């Protein structure tokens, strides 16, 4: 019998992020991708003057958090609450998740956790830049609405 109480008691088993949190984040990303076309009018999602084209939130740390090349499918959040993005990688990218992780590690980020569950994958990376620590969770969801080359980013600063 394994349950939450037994998992807490296991010596040596230490995880930075629980499976429950990953599932909740994946559900949130899936919902945001599905709702991105609905035009909620929320101020947390910045739109350009071109219909259907999205821009990164105004306070997103572009210089500190490199993203894969491709179309921005959803974008929201702020510096105080963190940012969430979904990017559909360009057709020249063979594996968008791997490309996203490589772009971050090439920029000095350190991978701290990698989780795979049912075809869904999440990689957590951190980096300190100008006395601010950024945590970036990059993931892919099997059967994502944006296609197999889309990845989501959860970015927070501490």
pLDDT one-digit tens code per residue, 62-121: 999 999 999 999 999 999 999 999 999 988 888 899 999 999 999 999 999 999 998 899
Measured CA to CA in angstroms, residue 30 lies from 47, 96, 139, 143, 148 at distances of 19, 17, 11, 10, 13
Q: How far apart are CA 139 and CA 86, in angstroms?
A: 9
Mean of the per-residue pLDDT values of the chain: 76
The pLDDT, as a whole number, for residue 132 is 94
Asked if residue 7 belongs to a domain, the reply is no
Structural domain count of the chain: 1
Within a domain: 3: no
Q: What is the per-residue pLDDT across 20-79, written as a single tens digit (0 to 9) for each?
A: 554 445 555 444 443 344 333 333 333 333 335 789 999 999 999 999 999 999 999 999
CA 80 to chain centre: 16
Give yes or no for residue 140 having a pLDDT over 70: yes
Report how far residue 29's alpha carbon sits from residue 65's, in angstroms, rounded to the nearest whole number: 19
What is the span of the domain harbouring residue 126?
16-38+47-157
In-domain check, residue 107: yes
């Amino acid at each position: 019998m394994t349950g939450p109480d037994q998992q807490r008691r296991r010596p040596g088993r230490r995880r930075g992020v629980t499976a429950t949190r990953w599932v909740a984040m994946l559900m949130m990303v899936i919902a945001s991708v599905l709702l991105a076309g609905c035009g909620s009018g929320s101020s947390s999602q910045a739109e350009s003057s071109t219909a259907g084209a999205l821009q990164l939130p105004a306070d997103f740390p572009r210089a500190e958090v490199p993203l894969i090349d491709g179309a921005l499918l959803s974008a929201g959040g702020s510096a105080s609450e963190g940012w969430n993005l979904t990017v559909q990688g360009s057709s020249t990218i063979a594996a968008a998740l791997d490309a996203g992780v490589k772009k971050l590690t090439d920029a000095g980020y350190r991978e701290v956790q990698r989780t795979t569950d049912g075809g869904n994958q999440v990689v957590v990376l951190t980096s300190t830049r100008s006395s601010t620590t950024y945590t970036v969770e990059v993931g892919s969801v099997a059967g994502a609405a944006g296609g197999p080359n889309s990845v989501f980013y959860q970015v927070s600063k501490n």
